[in-house]
Chains A and B, each alone.
Chain A
Amino acid sequence: MLRFLARRLALAVPTLIIASMIIFALQQLLPGDTATALSGEERDPEVIAFIRAKYHLDRSLPVRYAYWAGGVLQGDLGESIRLQKPVLELVREKLPVTLELACLAMLVALVIGVPMGILSAVRPGTWIDGLANGVALWGLSVPNFWLGILMILLFSVQLGWLPASGYVPPGESLTENLRSMAMPAFVLGNAIAAVMMRHTRAAMLGVLQSDYVRTARAKGVPTARVVLRHALPNAAIPIITLGALEFGQLLSGAVLTEQVFSVPGFGKLMVDAVFNRDFATVQGVVICTATTYILLNLAADLASALVNPKLRRA
C-alpha cells in the first residue's frame, strides 16, 4: 500500500507544480503593463512600485515564477491590494465556510445519490430505475444558481421558512448555522447527487453481474445481504475515486451557490476579487483550490486502498 501511495504522491507533486505554473502564467494574460494592471483600480505610483518590486517584474518570467513559488511554499500568497490584507489570511478566514458547505453538500449527494444508484442497479428497467435516472438527469441539467433562486422564491419569499442569505458561524449557533446552510448545501449537493447516482448505478450493475455475486446467491444469501455485503464493498472503490473527482465540481458549484445565497466563502471571495481586479487574491484562491483538490484525490486513493484488500496487504 505504501508503494501505491508513494506512486500517487509522486504523480501529485509535478501536477501541483504545473498547476501553479499555469496559475502564475495567468498574469501574463493581463493587457498592458503588468504592474499597473495588478495594482487594480488604485493606480497609485507607490503601489505600482511596490508590486513591481514584490513580483520582481524587471526579471525574466522563470525567475519571477521561482520567487513567487518560493513565497507560496512559505505561505506567502501575496497581498490583497484592495483589502490591505495578506491573501493567506483571507483564505484562512473563508476556507472553513466553503469546506463546511462542500462537506454538507457531499453528504446530501451521498445520501441521495448512493441509495438511488443501488436501487436502480438492483432493479434495472423498472419504474424505480426510471425515476432515479430522471432525477439524475434533472440534477445534471438544472443550473444550480437557478435552483437556488427558485428555492429562495419558495422557502424564503413565499413561505419564509429559511433565510435567503447570510451565514451564521457554527460557533455562534449551530441551528442557525444549519438553517443558513440548508438551501446552499441542498442546491450544491443536488448536481453531485446525480453524478454519484450514475457512478453508483454503473459500478453496482457491473458488480451485480459478477461471478462472486452469483456465488453468494448460490449460497442462499438473501438479496439485501447480497447487495449490501457482497456487492457494495466491491463497488465502493470506483464510487469513492469518482466521488473524489466530483469535489472539483463541488468547488466550482460552491462559487455560484455562495454568490446566490451570499455565503461569505471561498467562491464569494474569488468573485469579489475578480470584480475588484484583486488578482493576487484570485491566484491565491485558485492555487488553494487546486491544492485542496489534489489532496482530496490523494485521500480518496488512500480510502480506496483501505477498502481494497489487494492494496491493503501489498
Chain B
Amino acid sequence: MSEAGLSTAAEMAAPPVAALPPEPGALRAFWRRFSRRRGALAGLVVVVLLGILALGAAWIAPFDPTATDWGAVRAAPTLTHLFGTDEVGRDVLSRIVYGTRASLGAGLTSVALAVALGLPLGMLAGYAGGVIDGAIMRLTDALLAIPFLILAIALAAFLGPSLTNAMVAIGLSATSIFVRLTRAQVQAAAAEDFVEAARAVGNPPWRIALHHILPNIVPAILVQATLTIAAAIIAEASLSFLGLGQQPPEPSWGSMLNTAKNFLDQAPWMAIWPGLSIFLAVLAFNLVGDGLRDALDPRERR
C-alpha cells in the first residue's frame, strides 16, 4: 500500500511527458479505422472531387457560366448542354461547376472564421473560469437562442446581401458552437492527470493550454468543424436561395434553385441538378465527419 503511494508521488514529481506525442503508428491506426467505413471513404472521394471542380472550374466547365444564349432558353438537356439551360439560356452544368466555388468557399471560410473566433474564446472560458467564463457563456447562450439561420438572415439583412456577408453571417452564427465545444473539452482535459502533472511542476497556464490541452482537443474540434462545414454549405445555399447570398449573375446552387422554383412545370432540370449538388456536398461532409468521429473516438467503437 505504502509502496503504491510512493510511486504515485514519484510520478507526479517527474517531468511531465509531452502530451500524447503522435505515435508513429497512431496516424496509420487512425486511417485504418477511418477507411474501414465505406461511407466515410466515399464521402472523402466526393469532397476531393468537389475540391477539384472548384479549383479547376475554368478548365472543366464547358461554357462561361454567365454567358446567356437567347436561342436556347430553358432548353432540356442535350449533348451540348448536358444539364440543360436556364431561363436566360445559361448552361446549367457550367453554373453547377462554378457554383462549387461558392458552396465550398462559403463552407470552409465561414467555419474557419467560426473556429478562429470560437477556439480562443472557448479556451479562455474553460481555462479562466469565473467571471470571464460566465460572461462568455451568457454571450454564447444568447447567440444560440437566436436560431442559426435566423441570425444569419438578420445579419445578411443588415450587412446587405452578398456572398462575403453571407459567409461572415454564417461564421458568426456558428461561433458559439465552437466556444461551447472548446470550453467543455478544455475543462475535461484540464482534469486529466498529465495536465495536473504539468501544473504541479510549474508550467505557466498559457504553456499548459497550448502544449498540453490544445493537442488533446484538436480531434473533437476537427470532427465538429467537418460537420459544421456541411451545415454551413446548407446555410449558404439557404441564404442564396432566399436571395441573401451570392448575387446574380454569379452562380450559386442556392440561387439557381430560387430561380428554378418559378419554372418547375416547364424546366424541372433547373431544380434537379443544383439541389442534387447541395445534397451530395452536404452528404459527403457529413459522412467524412461521422467517419472522423468514429475513427477518433474510441468509445464509439464496438
Contacts and interface: CB of A to CB of B under 8 A. Distances in A.
Q: Are A and B close enough to touch in the complex, i.e. CB under 8 Å?
A: yes
Interface of A: 11, 14-19, 21-23, 26-27, 29-31, 124-125, 137-138, 140-143, 145-146, 149-150, 152-153, 157, 248-249, 251-253, 255-256, 259-260, 270-271, 273-275, 279, 282-283, 285-286, 289-290, 293-294
Interface stretch (B85-93, B119-127, B153-161, B197-205): B153-161
B141 A289 contact: no
Contacts, number: 144
Contacts of B138: 14-15, 18
B243 A141 contact: no
A241 to B, nearest CB: 14
Nearest to A137: B286
Given A19-B146, A149-B260, A286-B151, 7 more contacts: A22-B142, A29-B155, A143-B238, A149-B275, A248-B145, A252-B148, A256-B238
A146 B278 contact: yes
Contacts of B142: 15-19, 21-22, 290
A16 B143 CA distance: 10
Contacts of A270: 150, 153
A153 B158 contact: no
A146 B271 contact: yes
A25 to B, nearest CB: 10
A102 to B, nearest CB: 11
Interface in B248-290: 257, 260-261, 264-265, 268, 271, 274-275, 278-279, 282-283, 286-287, 290
A23 B154 contact: yes
A214 B179 CA distance: 38
Contacts of B149: 252-253, 255-256
B34 interface: no
B158 A255 contact: no
Contact of B275 (A17, A143, A271): A143
24 contacts: A18-B141, A18-B142, A137-B283, A140-B282, A141-B230, A143-B237, A146-B274, A146-B278, A149-B260, A149-B264, A152-B264, A153-B264, A153-B271, A249-B147, A252-B147, A255-B153, A273-B157, A274-B153, A274-B157, A274-B242, A274-B244, A289-B147, A289-B150, A293-B145
B98 interface: no
A162 B279 CA distance: 25
B150 A252 contact: yes
A290 B144 CA distance: 9
Given A26-B154, A29-B155, A286-B151, A157 B264 contact: yes
B242 to A, nearest CB: 6
B150 A29 contact: no
A29 B286 contact: no
B158 A294 contact: no
A270 B238 CA distance: 14
Interface string B151-176: 10111111110000000000000000
Contacts of A153: 264, 268, 271
A164 B237 CA distance: 22
B154 A255 contact: no
B153 A279 contact: no
B145 A290 contact: yes
The 5 A-B pairs at the shortest CB distance, nearest first, are namely A146-B275, A252-B149, A18-B142, A248-B147, A141-B283
SS class, residues of chain B in contact with chain A: helix
A54 to B, nearest CB: 18
A286 B141 contact: no
Contacts of B13: none
A23 B154 CA distance: 8
SS class, residues of chain A in contact with chain B: helix
Contacts of B238: 143, 145, 255-256
- A19, A143, A289 interface centre (most CB from chain B within 10 Å): A143
Contacts of B286: 137, 140-141
A15 to B, nearest CB: 4
A151 to B, nearest CB: 11
Interface in B206-256: 230, 234, 237-238, 241-244
B174 to A, nearest CB: 12
A125 B301 CA distance: 12
Given A19-B145, A150-B275, A251 B150 contact: yes
A18 to B, nearest CB: 4
Given A143-B234, A248-B144, A290-B145, A255 B260 contact: no
B302 interface: yes
Contact of B150 (A14, A255, A275): A255
B148 A248 contact: yes
Contacts of B156: 274
Contacts of A249: 147-148
B277 to A, nearest CB: 10
Contact of B257 (A15, A16, A18, A149): A149
Contacts of A150: 271, 275
A289 B146 CA distance: 7
B139 interface: yes
A145 B139 CA distance: 31
B104 to A, nearest CB: 15
A286 B241 CA distance: 20
A148 B142 CA distance: 31
A7 to B, nearest CB: 14
B158 A11 contact: no
A272 to B, nearest CB: 10
